[in-house]
Structure 1
Amino acid sequence: MDSLHRYRPICDAIAALFQPYVEVVLHELATDKAVYIAGNFSKRVLGEPSLLHEVDFDSQNPVIGPYEKVNWDGRALKSITVVLRDEAGAPLGVMCINVNVSDFHAVMQTLSALVRVPEPHYRPDALFKEDWHERINEFIRQWTQGRNVTISSMTHADRKDLVTALADSGAFSGKNAAAYISRVLGMGRATVYKYLRNEK
C-alpha cells in the first residue's frame, strides 16, 4: 500500500461532492508516480510518472495555485496543488485538485467570480516547465481549434495529420507520451505508430 493511502477517502469525498466537475490525483514523491485518482476525467492512469522530480518543485510551499490548465479535450481547468506530509513534517506527496470550469463560463455573470482565475493568470513555472501532459493538451487544443474540429469529429486523415504535427513538435519525446496521446485521441498505440511511419 502506498504512503498516501490515508488521503484516499478525502480524494473520494471531494470528487463525490462536486461530481462530475472535480478530479483529485495523489502523486507519491518517493516513487514519482500517480498512486490514486478520484473522479478521473484527465485520462491519466495509475502508475504514470508524476514528473514532479523533473521540475523545480519546492515542497516547502504548502499550497501551489490556483492556476489554469487545459484538459485533453480542450476544457478549461482550475487547479490547485497541496503538499502532503507525514507526522514528522516530511513531504510524502501532493494532492492535485482539478476543477472543470468550462461549463460555468456560460452561466450567469454573477458566478464568474467563482470560476475566474485571478489576473494575471498564475501558471507556476515549477509545475509547467517540464509538464508534457500540459504541452500536449495545449498543442491539441490549438491544432483542433485552428481547423474547427473536435477530437470526436476528426477523420482518419485529421488524426494522422495531428499525430504527425505532434511528432514534429517533439511531443513524443516524453516518457509514456505515446501511450498518453493514444488515450487522448482514442486510438490504439499501434495506429499511432503506423501514422508515425507514414503508413495508410
Structure 2
Amino acid sequence: MVKKPGPDKDNAQLRLLKSVADGIAALFFPSVEVVIHDVEAGTVAYIANNLSKRKPGDDAGLDDLEQDPLAPVTGPYEKLNWDGKKMRSVTIATGDGESPGYLLCINLSTAVFEEARNALEMFLSVTRLQPQPEQLFRDDWQENINTFLHEWIRRENTSLSALTREQKKKVVQSLHKEGAFRAKNAADYIAGVLSLGRTTVYKYLRECKE
C-alpha cells in the first residue's frame, strides 16, 4: 500500500477510539497496550500504555492490507515483543467501503501469567513429594474421614457445600457403619465438616441404631 499523509483525522471517531484505548489500558494496567493505526496514512496514530517502544507517526506495517483485507475482528493471535516476551493480540478494524478507518490493536503481555504458571507448577510438583510416613499417620482418623467423605461426594456427583440435609444424614450414617465414630472427638469433627450441630449428628446416629 502506497503511504500518503492522511488528512487531519483527529475527528470524533479517533477521539472515541483514544478514549477506548485509554480505558482498556487503565483497566488492565500494566499488562495491556492499545495501539491505534491510521490505515490511510499507514502510521501509528496513538498508543496507550506503551509496551512495544513504538511511537505515534511510526510506520504501521500495513503494506499488504489492500491485498489481504482484515476481518472486523482478527485474533487472538500471538506475537513477540521487542524484549522477547510473548503477547496475545486482537485487532479490530473500523473501516468501511468509504473510509479505510483505523485499526485498534489490543496487545496483552502474557509474561506475568506465564511466570505465575511456572511458579505454581514448580510449587505443586508431585515429583517433590515423599510418601506419607506410614507409622506416623497409620491412625489418622481425620484423614480417613476426609477420604471417605469426598469419595462419597464424588459418587453422588455433588460437592460439600451443595449437600442437602438428607444427604448429610446419609453421610453420617455411612460413616457410622465404617466405624468413624470410634475415634475420640470424631462427632465434633464430622459435625464441623458437614456444618451440622453436634446434637443433629447424634440424632442421626440414634436413628441409624434404631
TM-score (norm 2): 0.47
Larger radius of gyration: 2
TM-score (norm 1): 0.49
